[in-house]
Amino acid sequence: MSAPSPIDGFAAKIRKGGHGGLVSAWIGIPSPLMVNHLAQEDFDSLVLDMQHGMWDLGTAAATVAQVRVAGKPALARIPVGDFSAASRLLDAGFSGIIAPMVNSKADAEALVSFTKYPPLGERSWGPSLALNHVGIPASEYLKTANDLTVTIAMVETRAALEAVDDILGVEGIDGIFVGPSDLSIALSNGAKVAPDTPEVDKELSHVIARCRAHKKFVCAFGSDGARAGEMLTLGCDLVIAAGDSTQIRNGAAREIAAARNGFKR
């Protein structure tokens, strides 16, 4: 078997740990050109958000090349319950799937059935674009695809917190992604969106501990770079340092302020 490229070694890297913390881009604006630019920065991976972002399947599939040309892996967050899209995105060459609102063992098993080939799941065969990207024979891809890709379940509700050990116990679930905004809504019974609170950190720390017990990795969404650093300190393996729209607007605001503050009348 040929050795995987650094791109296709991402799954092994995040599973193994000891990498010092990974930082990923989070992109909801459906622009392949913008993805190409962001991929030049020092991100460890790039996530296309198809749940709240406006990506369609075809555009997302075509954008994988814009990420891989920069030597980075592409991951996708699918819409809630759209597990069939997960299979098609893996066929297109994505290195991982993030599934929102996985609230039970049954949800986790359903996700794995679409993202892993037998014996772990029932993913249907048809990875034509993935084969082009990975550059290995079909027979080798069939044997290694389950290891070359990651399946990540999002924990963001009270039900998911209660079932986290059951979810982690499903073979084929490689890691957990904590969604702090939805989790804060759940913890406050719909009273507020407050992702950067001690209540959220308490539950995040609990999920991290359970992931360590199951020898699986944990990811989380940080509202900005400082918050992402705090999450890495807590023990997360991969974090988001704000989404694309926040980064663009913050950068624009910073440069506008610099121009106006630097203007000498």
Give Cβ neighbours of residue 110 (< 8 Å, ≥ 6 apart).
83
* Rounded Cα distance, 91 and 96, in Å: 11
* Rounded Cα distance, 146 and 99, in Å: 16
Of 202, 249, 200, 206, nearest in space to 222 by CA: 200
**Residues linked to residue 49 through DSSP beta bridges, in sequence order:** 77
Q: What is the enclosing helix (H) or strand (E) of 230?
A: helix 225-234
Give Cβ neighbours of residue 209 (< 8 Å, ≥ 6 apart).
none
Asked if residues 111 and 104 have their Cβ atoms less than 8 Å apart, the reply is no
Q: List the catalytic residues.
A: 52
* Rounded Cα distance, 100 and 173, in Å: 13
**Residues linked to residue 77 through DSSP beta bridges, in sequence order:** 49, 98
**Residues linked to residue 153 through DSSP beta bridges, in sequence order:** 99, 176
Of 28, 15, 130, nearest in space to 79 by CA: 28
* Rounded Cα distance, 35 and 31, in Å: 6
